[in-house]
Amino acid sequence: MSRVRLRYTGLVDFASRLFSFAAGLAFTLIVTRTISETEFGVWNNIGDLLGYFIIAYAIIPFWAGRFTAREHKGAAKTGVISNLLLSLIFFVFYLALIPLLTSILQTSAYLTLYLLTSLLILEHHTLAALENILHAKKPHLLGYGLVIYESCKVAISVILAVWLKLGLMGAICATVASYLIQVLFYLKPLANELKEKFEWSYLKEWIKASPINLYGIVGSRLESLTLILLFAYGGQLARAYYGAAQTIAYIIGYSQFLALALYPRLLMGSSSEDVSASLRMVLMFATPMTFGALALSDSYMTILSVAYAEARPILLLLALNTLCLCLSAVFETIVSGTERLDAKAKIPFRKLLRSKLFLIFTLPYLQSIITLPAAFVLLTSNQKTPLMSATYIAAIALLANIVMLAARYTIAHKSFAFKFPWRSTSKYVLASAVMASLLLVVPHPTTVSKTVVLTLIGAGTYFATLTPIDRETRTLIRLVLREVRSKKA
């Protein structure tokens, strides 16, 4: 367990996520300013459809990562090879079905782009296996890999989308090429593990347990059908509004990666203090990010494109929704990390059905019971503008995820006794309120550079307020300074 450092790993990955946001924003700006709003809606729809063809990409990696964390030899190689073979099946299905799907969605004019995206199926499966294995052994390398991916994506998109004027085709090619580079980076530190023997006994256990994983994945994909409904009934512009707001809200979600090291530590055996520390780290950053998104929502939407400025209400809802998702992710980690049924490289199926892990997999189905009927009724009951349609979907998502957050907290607390850091949370809320008050009274910029400067001023205000009153903040600052000094030495 000493190999996996809780705060260091979390900070490295979070810093990489911040870089990812900046690079991702640059990439989004390149895309939104080189293609039309209609094409941006198609871009988001491509991602929505792709999700159904990578629906099983995390099943084998889930167990491979757990086996690797518990030092079962051959788990890494078995996981990577098995997942790559699985990807070939979905790759073929995608190529066969995409002409029909684009015809139904009336996007046949973009068929070539949908076909090119098929390569992402192979890459996502390979990356899922590599990342789960690294998560168990060297989780900080995931942050480095993300920086490499985002840097390459921006650089290549500038060449293809801007200089060569390939537009959406250039953006997709940049994404495919960058994922390939990321795969190659992850292969090197796992070279020794990939030389081990392929263990058919592991694969047999994983396949035996796969129906449970697939059950959970299908449930999560069911909930995302609301975005397909939005595209079908609200139109391409409604999906573009939602996608633009989601781009900004995603940065709040990066806070959950501050708890990246919690999972392998729980698998190897950990204390309740690790859980409390992880929650403090997540909330320390997720809270001000949420307040900041609420206070500067108009500026953040405008810098994407003036056309998305009116989508501000969607961002307000999605910001709160993403905060709920961050906490839910930590609670799910507690449940999955403390489950011991596979500790001896065997997965008893009946015990799995009775486990809290299975209960966590069931929650998305309950969520879909809330979201899908509500989305269908609201989108089809009366004539609505694209903005209204997207706002309704965001509101439905927020209400459903508040309910799911309460459920996940209850399950996690029954799995592993821990104390929620209410006192620290109140400090984060206080410092965030001070920051938001400042941001609300100053003029809101409409350019990228000025918005970034004002965001940094807000962050400085938050930490200046928080540092004197919060010990965890001072601990993190000392950790960062120590790491910087050690790198210089």
Q: What is the pLDDT of residues 304-330, one digit of tens each?
A: 877 788 889 999 999 999 999 999 999
In whole angstroms, give the CA distance from residue 281 to residue 13.
12
- Burial class from Cβ neighbours inside 10 Å (0-12, 13-18, 19+) for residue 238 reads buried
Whole-angstrom distance, CA of residue 225 vs CA of residue 364 = 12
Tokens 């969607």: give the residue: 314
Look at residue 483 in the predicted model and tell me its pLDDT.
64
Q: What is the largest CA-CA distance in the chain?
A: 66
Distance CA 162, CA 183 (A): 26
pLDDT at 1: 41
Q: Are 339 and 356 in contact (CB under 8 A)?
A: yes
The pLDDT tens digits of the residues spanning 124-151 come to 999 999 999 998 888 888 989 999 999 9
Backbone torsion region of residue 396, taken as left when φ is above 0, otherwise alpha when ψ lies between -120 and 50, otherwise beta: alpha
Residues ≥6 apart with Cβ < 8 Å to 335: 356, 357, 359, 360, 408, 411, 412, 415, 416
Q: Give the pLDDT of residue 4.
A: 59
What is the rounded (10 degree) CA torsion for 261, 267, 273, 278? 30
Q: Which residues of the chain have pLDDT under 50?
A: 1-2
pLDDT at 81: 95
Task: Reduce the secondary structure of the chain to three states and give it as a string.
Answer: CCCCCHHHHHHHHHHHHHHHHHHHHHHHHHHHCCCCHHHHHHHHHHHHHHCCCCCCCCHHHHHHHHHHHCCCCCHHHHHHHHHHHHHHHHHHHHHHHHHHHHHHCCCHHHHHHHHHCCHHHHHHHHHHHHHHHHHHHCCHHHHHHHHHHHHHHHHHHHHHHHHCCCHHHHHHHHHHHHHHHHHHHHHHHHCCHHHCCCCHHHHHHHHHHHHHHHHHHHHHHHHCHHHHHHHHHHCHHHHHHHHHHHHHHHHHHHHHHHHCCHHHHHHHCCCHHHHHHHHHHHHHHHHHHHHHHHHCHHHHHHHHCHHHHHHHHHHHHHHHHHHHHHHHHHHHHHHHHHCCCCCCCCCCHHHHHCCHHHHHHHHHHHHHHHHHHHHHHHHHHCCCCHHHHHHHHHHHHHHHHHHHHHHHHHHHHHHCCCCCCHHHHHHHHHHHHHHHHHHHHCCCCCCHHHHHHHHHHHHHHHHHHHHHHCHHHHHHHHHHHHHHHHHHC
| Among candidate residues 294, 290, 315, 321, the one with its CA nearest the CA of residue 425 | 290
Mean residue pLDDT of the chain comes to 89
pLDDT attached to residue 346? 85
In angstroms, the CA 268 to CA 279 distance is 19
* Exposure of 447 in the CB half-sphere (CA atoms within 13 A): 3
pLDDT score for 138 = 84
Tokens of 368: 């879909």
Distance, in Å, from the CA atom of 189 to the CA atom of 198, rounded to the nearest integer, reads 18
